[in-house]
Amino acid sequence: MPQSNVIILTDPESDFSLHQNRVTVLPIQGEYSRDKLMLQRIRSYITFLDIRLEKLSQEQGRITHFIFSDSDIAVIDDLGQIFEKYQDFHVALTFRNNKDQPLNSGFIAVRGTRDGILRARTFLQKVLEVYSSKYMTASRMLGDQLALFWVIKSDASFDAKRFSKAQAFIKEIGGASVLFLPCATYNWTPPEGAGQFHGMPLDVKVVHFKGSRKRLMLEAWNYFSSSADISDMLCLILKSGRTKYDF
C-alpha cells in the first residue's frame, strides 16, 4: 500500500528517530504502565479518532480510512479493497473459531467518514468502559479482546456460531455497523504446536507475528520485499514452531 500513511501512536517519552516518507509519530498522553498498556491503547485509538474528527471539517470532503494494528503485524496486500467491497460498515474486526476469545484486537479498521468515525468512537468507548469495569484483572494482553467480545455478545440477536465459518459478515452492534473479517485472511498467524498445521491460506493479506514469531519479522519482510513471493514468506514464518503465548 505505497500511497498509505503510517502513524505511530506512542507515549510522549519515547524517542523515535524516523526519517521515512509517509511515516509520522503521534505522542498521546496517558498511562503506559505494563498492566494498563492495552487499556491505554483503546484510549489512544479514541483520542486519535477525536483528532481526525476535528481535521475532517478542514479537509473539504476528502475521506481517509484508517486501520489500527499491532506493531507485530505485516501488511502484504492492499487493504483498501475492504472499504470498497464492504461499503456499509463503520468499524471492522477480525475473528477466529475460538469459543472464549474469538476476536483479535490486533487489526481494527475504521471508515473515515464523519459518521464512520463517530460510530467507531462510540463503539470503542463502550469497549473501554467494559474493559475498565470487568477485565482489569485479566492477563495484561487479553483484557481488550475479552471486552470486545463482551460488547459483541451482549447484543441479544448476535449468533456466536457465525465465528465457526471463515466468512465475512456484517452485524449492527450498539448503533455501529460492524464488519467481521476472518483472521485466516486479515490477521493470519500459523497455529501453535507441532502437528496443528492443516494448510496455508494463499489469499492472506495480513500476517500477525505473535509470540516468539516476532523474531522472524525482519527476516520475513526482507525476504518478501526481495522476492514478492507470499507463499515462500509464509513457509518461512512456519519455522517459528511452538510458542507458549499466542494471543
DSSP state, 12?
T
Segment 81-106 shows an average pLDDT of 94
Mean pLDDT over each residue of the chain, to the nearest integer: 86
Parallel, antiparallel, or unpaired: how do β-strands 23-27 and 6-10 relate? parallel
Q: Which of 178, 186, 190, 195 is nearest to 233 (CA)?
A: 190
Q: Give the contacts of 204 (CB within 8 A, at least 6 positions apart).
A: 76, 77, 184, 185, 188, 230, 234
Q: What is the pLDDT of residue 18?
A: 77
Q: Residue range 98-121: average pLDDT? A: 95
- d(C-alpha 216, C-alpha 80), whole Å: 26
pLDDT at 234: 67
Bridge partners, 170 (sequence order): 179
Q: Pick the more confident residue, 202 or 38.
A: 38
- Whether the pLDDT of residue 25 is over 60: the answer is yes
Q: Is the pLDDT of residue 15 over 70?
A: yes
Whether residue 247 contacts residue 144, with contact meaning beta carbons closer than 8 Å, is answered with no
Of all residues in the chain, the percent with pLDDT exceeding 90 is 59
Spatial contact of 153 and 171, defined as CB atoms under 8 Å apart: no
Give pLDDT tens digits for 28-53: 999 999 888 999 999 999 999 999 99
Q: Walk me through the domains of the chain, giving residue ranges and CATH numbers.
A: 6-226 (3.90.550)
Please give the angle made by the CA atoms of 168, 62 and 84, to the nearest 5 degrees. Answer: 20
Please, are residues 103 and 188 in contact by the beta-carbon 8 Å criterion?
no
- At 246, is the pLDDT very low, low, confident or very high (cuts 50, 70, 90)? very low
